[in-house]
């Protein structure tokens, strides 16, 4: 079975550029989470969706960040304009309401903003 798929795996961009990170959750999972991981701040929950609806975006740092989930199989996290302090690993994760509800993580997108 395919796991959570994220793209790109690595992105290097210059300050001011737009960055779009993509995520395909596991088929049948109805919750999707975006996390940011840095050495200084650890794993931060940015936003999560339930049945494609954003439930809590209080972790989104500022208006430069936006996330969408147009359907059950795709989500994007966009940063515009990007800044060097946005450099981090961005994880997408999905879960289902059944069972233990554990998160299944993608491999992450490592973003470097110069």
Partner 1 sequence: AQKITQTQPGMFVQEKEAVTLDCTYDTSDPSYGLFWYKQPSSGEMIFLIYQGSYDQQNATEGRYSLNFQKARKSANLVISASQLGDSAMYFCAMKPDSWGKFQFGAGTQVVVTP
The answer to whether the CB of 40 falls within 8 A of the CB of 34 is no
The least distance separating partner 1 from the CB of residue 42, rounded to whole angstroms, comes to 5
The least distance separating partner 1 from the CB of residue 10, rounded to whole angstroms, comes to 11
**Closest to 21 measured CA to CA, from 39, 2, 46, 41:** 46
The site for partner 1 (CB under 8 A) is made up of: 31, 33, 35, 42-43, 45, 48, 50, 55-56, 89, 91, 93, 95, 97, 100-105, 107-108
Closer residue to partner 1 in complex, CB, 75/95? 95
Closer residue to partner 1 in complex, CB, 57/81? 57
- Ordered DSSP codes for 77-101: EEESS--GGG-EEEEEEEE-SSTT-
């Amino acid at each position: 079975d395919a796991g959570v798929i994220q793209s790109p795996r690595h992105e290097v961009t210059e300050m001011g550029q737009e960055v779009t990170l993509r995520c395909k959750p596991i088929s049948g999972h109805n919750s999707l989470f975006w996390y940011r991981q840095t050495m200084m701040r650890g794993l931060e929950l940015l936003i999560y969706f339930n049945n494609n609806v954003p439930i809590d975006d209080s972790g989104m740092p500022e208006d430069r960040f936006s996330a969408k989930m147009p359907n059950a199989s795709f989500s994007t996290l966009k940063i515009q304009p990007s800044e060097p302090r946005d450099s981090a690993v961005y994880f997408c994760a999905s879960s289902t309401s059944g069972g233990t509800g554990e998160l299944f993580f993608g491999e992450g997108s490592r973003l470097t903003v110069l």
